[in-house]
Amino acid sequence: MEFSELLKSINSLEDSYPPVHLWNPGLCEGVEMRIDREGNWYYQNSIIGRDKLKVLFSRILKFEAGHYYLVTPVEKVVVKVDIAPYMIIDYEVDPELENIILKTNLEYNFPLDESHPMDLRLLGKESIPFVKVRDQLEGFISRSVFYGLVELALKQEQHSDSELMLTSSGKQFSLGSIE
């Protein structure tokens, strides 16, 4: 498949977040797509530099059977993802320090809440905070944002003797053990 064909197929979609969960087209072989740890997208090992194109691709991303795919009604392409397709690059918090909005690198914002939980996972020797972004898609929280959330959790004073807790939308999330 040519890149221009894939782009034409995606541009024909009308909804900003189409119902990819309803689409089950055949797999398109021979196309290499990848998202690296820094949130860079690649097509056939060439970096995709246009942010609008990455945002467009993120809207047709689907996770099924342990793999990520770009999906249109007529085809799907495997996307290899180093950590997670979304990276949390910023956040906002209300003046009462009770509700947090997370901001992704792909122009998608959402609350840290029960529907979008956060958990820490060990990858190698590194503990990485993950959050459910939308549908079955996850994001990981960048280091600078994580440090900001740690500072916020200390201001909230919700931690125990052994664990630092962050509160958002009435739910508590662990930021790790206090040593």
Asked if 32 and 44 count as a contact pair (C-beta separation under 8 A), the reply is yes
Sheet hosting strand 67-71, strand order edge to edge = 46-48, 41-43, 33-35, 76-81, 67-71, 61-64
Is it the case that residue 77 has pLDDT exceeding 80?
A: yes
Is it the case that residue 152 has pLDDT exceeding 90?
A: yes
Q: Please report the pLDDT score of residue 144 as a whole number.
A: 96
User: Measured between alpha carbons, how far is 19 from 58 in angstroms, rounded to an integer?
Assistant: 13
Which of 82-91, 134-143, 156-165 is predicted with the least confidence, judged by mean pLDDT?
Answer: 156-165
Is it the case that residue 17 has pLDDT exceeding 90?
A: no
pTM across the whole model: 0.86
What is the percentage of the chain residues whose pLDDT exceeds 70? 91
* Neighbour count for residue 25 (Cβ, 10 Å): 12
pLDDT digits (tens, 9 = 90+) for 106-128: 999 999 999 999 999 998 888 89
